[in-house]
Amino acid sequence: MNILSRLNSPFIYLICAVIVVFVALLCVIFAVRAYRAGKAIGMDVTRMKRTIVASATFAVLPSVGILLGVIALSGSLGTPWPWLRLSVIGALHYETQVAEAAAEAVGVGGLSASQMTAEAFTTIALLMSVCIMWGMVFSLFTCRRYTDRLSRPAPKKKKDGKGLSLAGFGDRAMTAMFIGLVSAYLGSYVGTLVSGGGLFRFAGSFLPLAVALVGAAAMGLFIRLRERYDAAWIDSFSIAGSMLIAMTAAIFLGKLA
């Protein structure tokens, strides 16, 4: 039996399936508790339902992208382990890098079924688990204190007028942080186009930037429609719809690249 057949054996599937089912149950428990708590404190049920619908539609396309990560890794690590990793804790853009680096570190020279051994696989699997577990470890020890501190009311303005109250700045800070996050990624697409193929040679791929622009234009259209027809339901599908349009555009723009 070759290594991939062993890595795809029913027993390995069973181990991974147990963990995936456990995490799925956790999600259901957290969702049900949050929904009930929302109702108990008098939140509008319609808004909670809109959140569920919008999040579900939002998640479909990125999930298909993540599935491609499973397929990409399944050629060297079998299917069950990448399936587990990308369902639980893993991240699409980290997982392949970590697996590749781990394979080099354990001496199989890169991710390849022809060089994979059972010992290399278990070592790579352990490395992949340990390298990306720190967010969970931090949440175990500090989440309570950190979130308590964040929800504490901001100190008020002093009587002499000095020192500015930060009350009300929290939302702006969160929005600004997200703007910073998006700016970093958009900046990287500009950098890829301008200097990706050599400094200022404009020889890099234009595709990520073009796709982002199409996504932005599509979102602009959805916002316009929502405002014009006062149709709040459009919000639930606008991100997924914009992504679908941008990804479809990528297929056609890709032919020009």
Site for another protein in 103-142 (CB under 8 A): 105-107, 117-123, 125-127, 129-140
Residues 174-213 within binding reach of another protein (CB under 8 A)? 174-192, 194-196, 199-200, 204, 207-209, 211-213
CB of 105 or CB of 231, closer to another protein: 105
Displacement of CA 31 from its chain's centroid (Å): 19
Q: What is the smallest separation between the CB atom of 161 and another protein, expressed in angstroms?
A: 11
Residues 65-104 within binding reach of another protein (CB under 8 A)? 65-68, 70-71, 74, 79-81, 83-84, 86-94, 98, 101-102
CB of 91 or CB of 114, closer to another protein: 91
The two structure tokens encoding residue 194 = 């301008």
Q: What is the smallest separation between the CB atom of 228 and another protein, expressed in angstroms?
A: 15
**The one among 62, 110, 155, 163 contacting another protein by CB under 8 A:** 62
Q: How far apart are CA 86 and CA 63, in angstroms?
A: 10
Pair 52, 30: CB distance under 8 Å:
no
Q: How far apart are CA 109 and CA 112, in angstroms?
A: 8
CB of 101 or CB of 113, closer to another protein: 101
Residues 14-43 within binding reach of another protein (CB under 8 A)? 15-16, 18-20, 22-24, 26-31, 33-35, 37-38, 40-43
Q: Is 150 in the site for another protein (CB under 8 A)?
A: yes
**The one among 2, 11, 159, 160 contacting another protein by CB under 8 A:** 11
Residues 211-230 within binding reach of another protein (CB under 8 A)? 211-220, 223
Q: How far apart are CA 123 and CA 101, in angstroms?
A: 12
Q: What is the smallest separation between the CB atom of 36 and another protein, expressed in angstroms?
A: 8
Q: How far apart are CA 234 and CA 217, in angstroms?
A: 15
The two structure tokens encoding residue 10 = 């029913």
Q: What is the smallest separation between the CB atom of 201 and another protein, expressed in angstroms?
A: 10
Q: What is the smallest separation between the CB atom of 60 and another protein, expressed in angstroms?
A: 6
Q: Hey, how many other C-beta atoms are within 10 angstroms of the C-beta on 242?
A: 20
Nearest to 129 by CA among 181, 63, 59, 77: 77
Q: How far apart are CA 211 and CA 243, in angstroms?
A: 9
The two structure tokens encoding residue 170 = 């929290």
Exposed e or buried b per residue across 49-62, where buried means at least 16 C-beta atoms within 10 angstroms of its C-beta = eeeeebeebbeebe
- Residues that bind another protein (rule: CB under 8 A) add up to a total of 159
Place of tokens 């062993």: 6
CB of 114 or CB of 227, closer to another protein: 227
